[in-house]
Homo-oligomer: A and B are copies of this chain.
Amino acid sequence: MNANDLDTPAVTIALGVMEETIRRAQAYYDEHGIAFRPHIKTHKIPAIAHKQIAAGAVGITCQKMGEAEVFLAAGLKDILIPYNIVGAQKLERLCNLAKQGTITVSVDSEYTARGISEAANREGVEIGLEVECDTGMHRAGVQTPQEAADLARVIARLPGVAFRGWMTYPTTRETVAFFEVASRLIERDGLKAEIRSGGGTPGMWQAHEALPTVNEYRAGTYVYFDRNSVGADAATWDECAMLVHMTVVSRPTQDRAILDGGSKTLSSDGVGGGQKGYGRIVEYPDAVIYAQSEEHDHVDLSACPPDRRPDIGERVTVIPNHCCATTNLHDEVYGVRQGKVEVVWPVLARGKIR
């Protein structure tokens, strides 16, 4: 089947583009001796993770245990979950994961570390722990190198868990100093942060600047890239592999078109890098998806030449703002090579909220 015969909206992945990106990213991390651990939340498809591992990735990153369950079931054995796992039901699941593979999680509090330790000790498994450090995101994470060191010392004394190192997101100017101070503080206790994990697609090609402090890197979005990646100068338009096929279903005015996508197809996530709107229409780069309803994209055509505007029934392809959020809305995506659908991928880890 030709990609252009897929009923719309349809999410397609340009296989050649994606494969080249996987190769090129791995080559970059290999060149610099940085361990690369792709984040699968972008694609949620084990077959793509296997391609990333085959290229040389040391393992994968999952954000929720439900994702890790899917990827373990698909044969991916080394998984980092950079998330605070809290609560009895989750701790039982976490121990079950550790019976199937090598599992590392992040923690930012003694409460959370002790909970994991008790569960792991009871279940007879070992969970690797990285201390989550807030080096500028102001989300989760310990706030100072001293807090990081204190938590590392607590972890080192707990049964069922092993202190592995530091984790942060994204990798900022503060990251190197934070990690270095924290590492020095635990040296006197004979502790070592073997893994010092940074992450983020926007800065993925500058990871070597944080060497040797940051020695492992996580990126997810890179596998498809998106408008935000281009806005951050991490990719060009031609390197964006996810294209959402849509149809023009209404042309109510000379300056307005309505596409059959909307926030249920693209997500309502915004865009950075001085761009506006909800996606880039490849065929009409001057058009702006200025608003969305759940099932409508509202397109402003006023910047397009009057004689070159789409008609009702015409197909267009859209590069989304944030491909990870788009992925999570779809039961399947279509892998395309030279215009033909080569593979239909069920998005096996879609909707794993827990």
Contacts and interface: CB of A to CB of B under 8 A. Distances in A.
Contacts of A328: 264, 294, 329
B83 A7 contact: no
Interface string A43-82: 0000000000000000000011000000000000000000
Contact of A86 (B134, B139, B267, B312): B312
A10 B267 CA distance: 20
Interface residues of A, number: 60
Given A140-B296, A293-B139, A250 B329 contact: no
A84 B261 CA distance: 12
B298 A139 contact: yes
23 contacts: A7-B87, A7-B354, A8-B87, A41-B295, A83-B249, A84-B249, A84-B312, A86-B247, A86-B312, A87-B313, A108-B252, A134-B252, A140-B250, A140-B258, A141-B250, A264-B328, A268-B268, A268-B269, A294-B328, A328-B329, A329-B329, A329-B351, A330-B353
Given A7-B90, A86-B249, A263-B269, 19 more contacts: A7-B87, A41-B294, A41-B295, A63-B294, A63-B295, A83-B249, A108-B250, A108-B252, A109-B251, A134-B252, A139-B252, A139-B298, A140-B249, A261-B353, A265-B353, A268-B325, A294-B324, A328-B329, A331-B351
